[in-house]
Chains A and B, each alone.
Chain A
Amino acid sequence: MSAPSDTDQRSWWRRNQMRAAPWLFLAPGIAFFALYVVFPIFQSFQISLYRWDGLGEARYIGLRNYEDLFDDPAFYTSLWNNVRWLVLYLLAIPGGLFIALFLNQQVRGIRLYKSLFFFPFVISQVVVGLVFAWFYNPSIGLFNPLIGLFGFSPMNVLGNPNTVTYGIIAAGLWPQVAYCMILYLTGLNAVDPEQVEAARLDGAKGWPMLWYVILPQLRPATFIAVVVTVIGALRSFDMISVMTNGGPFGSSRVLAYYMFEVSLSEYGFRMGYGAAIAVILFLIMLVYIAFFLWRMWREERGY
């Protein structure tokens, strides 16, 4: 402990800069993040206990919004669609791995092929949604003639409540597979060639090679692929909004879309009810966030 004999600011800074500097650097970032991300999460929890149209007086109604939610068939449709998104979206991971294995060669022009396979990911989901909506369109789209080649009769994918969600998920998989592919291509680059050679000498090839030698080395890539795919699935909003507006008859809604619809669409501004849906969505996501942080924390202890 040194006595504060001189009050010269410069020397105060000299003595304390190791402790003060991190906070100085963190201040603007934390302030922004707290204002726009951290506080709003708690506010949403609070708003979900009110009936509020976004303008007038908010009225406290306790858990009524949640009670209403459990009697709301649209909520169950959305939740069920979210489950479908979550499960089917994970197909992006084996899909991406498959394309990555297919492209992991060194022939002429392969770099360009890799880029072109990847680039659906770079296009905005809005445009991907439009492109697929036209692709499925029964009067102008290539989808029906294409399935016709395999003997299927033409269908209106986005107009049928039984197929619409699968149609949108397939469109969503397109960029997501590209993303997983690039993760795996990077991972494959780092696979230890000596281990592969050693395994080859032991007679490993094909499936066993992939399963016992390659995949364990791709674990970091797989982990990230799972995280981004799960989050992508729960965030699905853009495509639904662009391709179907949740229809037909609300059959393609997911929680993220339904929340937006009740809060901000022409059906009335039910902010409290919307916030309650958002809270449910948040709690689902929290499971994954907790899992991710726990894994990160385990790794950090290694430092």
Chain B
Amino acid sequence: MFPTPVEKRSAAIQASYKALLPLALILWLLPLLMVALFSIKPDSDFTQGNLWGLPSSFAGFENYTRVFTDSAMPRYLLNSVFITVPTVIGAVALSCMTGFALGVYRFRSNIWIFFMFVAGNFVPFQILMVPVRDLTLNMGLYDTRLGLVLFHIAFQTGFCTLFMRNFIRALPRELIEAARVEGVSEIRIFWYVVLPLMRPAIAALSVLIFTFIWNDYFWAVVLTQGVETQPVTAGITAFNSQFRAAYHMMSAGSIIAALPPVMMFFLMQKHFIAGLTLGAVK
């Protein structure tokens, strides 16, 4: 263990460590805590200059209700769901197959195809922007959720393939060899032997991709325009111009927009971190 565990240090050090933890956390999350505080304040607090003090009355319930009743926020949230969920399913499905192909079979172009996926995953979005927007326009999918979903699936397949292939590489090869000796066809090996073993990888990837796609902003503004199609990251801009200078409302709206991935993270923490830190340990 490094650094030295505090249990082995003097009582004074232990006590100060335990006191320091919450302080450090408050400092770390200060900007967010400020916004959380804003979101439960009534409008009058802002006009009377009571910015960082306790709310003069608890208006959290009212503010958050208004986000859902007085704005297009529910629509944006729904769009986000309809963009994110199909992308997760599509990208994970495609990459289970590509990861299997690249992880199990030995053929000459294997490594080059793998590198293509890895390299593509690091490419700056801007180099794709003009052609992808044009392609989406030509397919008649500009300003549709489907257009956005198709692109996201394709792009995320790069990262997902990297992830799945490395995961499958680490599985015991004997299982596959044994099945082959038994005369099981390759497709059945994929479906009945490998896929069940990939469950942890599928879970980890799903949570990660959910977060990435939910939080995407760039492609949302490039490929969609209005309230009918835009996800919440893009919609929050429209929301903020509706409630210009109403900081309690803008704060509540931002917190709502940020919440789904946060909940996903706290519910699926183990998978999330396993996915994110793949490769951080040898």
16 more CB-based (< 8 A) A-B contacts, given A33-B157, A210-B2? A25-B101, A37-B128, A37-B155, A43-B131, A116-B25, A123-B261, A130-B236, A142-B30, A142-B52, A190-B281, A221-B281, A241-B221, A263-B130, A264-B129, A289-B122, A292-B118
Task: Specify the main secondary structure of chain B where it touches its partner.
Answer: helix
B154 touches A36 (CB 8 A): yes
Q: Is A179 an interface residue (CB 8 A)?
A: yes
Which residues of chain A (89-109) have a CB below 8 Å from chain B?
101-102, 104-107
Q: Does A282 sit at the interface, judged by CB under 8 A? A: yes
Question: A60 on the interface (CB 8 Å rule)?
Answer: no
B116 close to chain A: CB less than 8 A: yes
Q: Is the beta-carbon distance between B265 and A119 smaller than 8 angstroms? A: yes
B163 surroundings in chain A (CB, below 8 A): none
* B98 contact from A13, A29, A234, Cβ within 8 A: A29
A110 to B262, CA, bound (A): 19
Chain B residues lying within 8 Å of A210, measured Cβ to Cβ, are 2
Tell whether, in the assembled complex, residue A281 and residue B126 are in contact, meaning their CB atoms are under 8 Å apart.
Answer: yes
How far does the alpha carbon of A47 sit from the alpha carbon of B132 in the complex, in Å? 12
Cβ A293 vs Cβ B115 within 8 A = yes
Which residues of the other chain, B, contact A13 by a CB distance below 8 angstroms? Answer: 185
Query: Does A183 belong to the interface (CB within 8 Å)?
Result: yes
Q: Across the interface, which residues of A come within 8 angstroms of B98, CB to CB?
A: 25-26, 29-30
Secondary structure at the A interface, as helix, strand, loop or mixed, is: helix
Residue A86 is within 8 A (CB to CB) of chain B in the complex: no
Residues of A within 8 A of B74 (CB): none
Chain B 113-135, CB within 8 Å of chain A: the 1/0 string? 10111111011111111111111
Contact with A along B259-282 (1 / 0, CB 8 A): 001101110010001001101111
Binds A, one of B55-63, B64-72, B198-206, B250-258: B250-258
Q: Are B111 and A297 in contact (CB under 8 A)?
A: yes
Q: Taking A26-B113, A35-B135, A107-B18 as contacts, is the C-beta distance between A256 and B125 under 8 angstroms?
A: yes
Binds B, one of A61-69, A153-161, A272-280: A272-280
Choose from A21, A105, A126, A145 the contact partner of B17 (Cβ within 8 Å). Answer: A105
B172 within 8 A of A: no
Evaluate contact between A278 and B129: CB separation under 8 angstroms.
yes
Decide: A285 and B276 in contact? CB cutoff 8 A.
no
The 8 Å CB contact of A21, one of B105, B261, B276, is B105
Given the interface contacts A105-B5, A122-B261, does A40 sit within 8 Å of B116 by beta carbon? no
CA distance A131 to B38 in the complex (A): 11
The residues of A that contact B240 with a CB separation of less than 8 Å are: 130
Beta-carbon nearest neighbor of B256 in chain A: A127
Establish whether residues B257 and A21, one from each chain, have CB atoms under 8 Å apart when the complex forms.
no
B44: Cβ under 8 A from any A Cβ: no
A7 within 8 A of B: no
Contacts known (A22-B107, A188-B2, A297-B111); A37 close to B254, Cβ less than 8 A = no
Known: A29-B97, A36-B151. A107 touches B6 (CB 8 A): yes
Interface-central residue, B2, B215, B255, B257, by most chain A CB under 10 Å: B2
| Complex contact B117–A33 (CB within 8 A) | yes
Cβ of B247 under 8 Å from chain A? yes
B186: CB under 8 A from chain A? yes
Task: Check if B150 is an interface residue, CB within 8 A of chain A.
Answer: yes
Say which residue of A106, A135, A277 sits within 8 Å of B34 (CB atoms): A135
A28 near B94 with CB under 8 A, answer yes
CA distance A11 to B276 in the complex (A): 43
Whether A36 contacts B97 by the Cβ 8 Å rule is no
Residues of A within 8 A of B124 (CB): 234-235, 256, 278, 281-282, 285
Contacts of B158 in A (CB 8 A): 33, 37
In the complex, are the beta carbons of B123 and A37 less than 8 A apart? yes
Asked whether, in the complex, the Cβ of A289 is within 8 Å of the Cβ of B32, the reply is: no
Whether A122 contacts B126 in the complex (CB less than 8 A), given A25-B101, A140-B46, A214-B2, comes out as: no
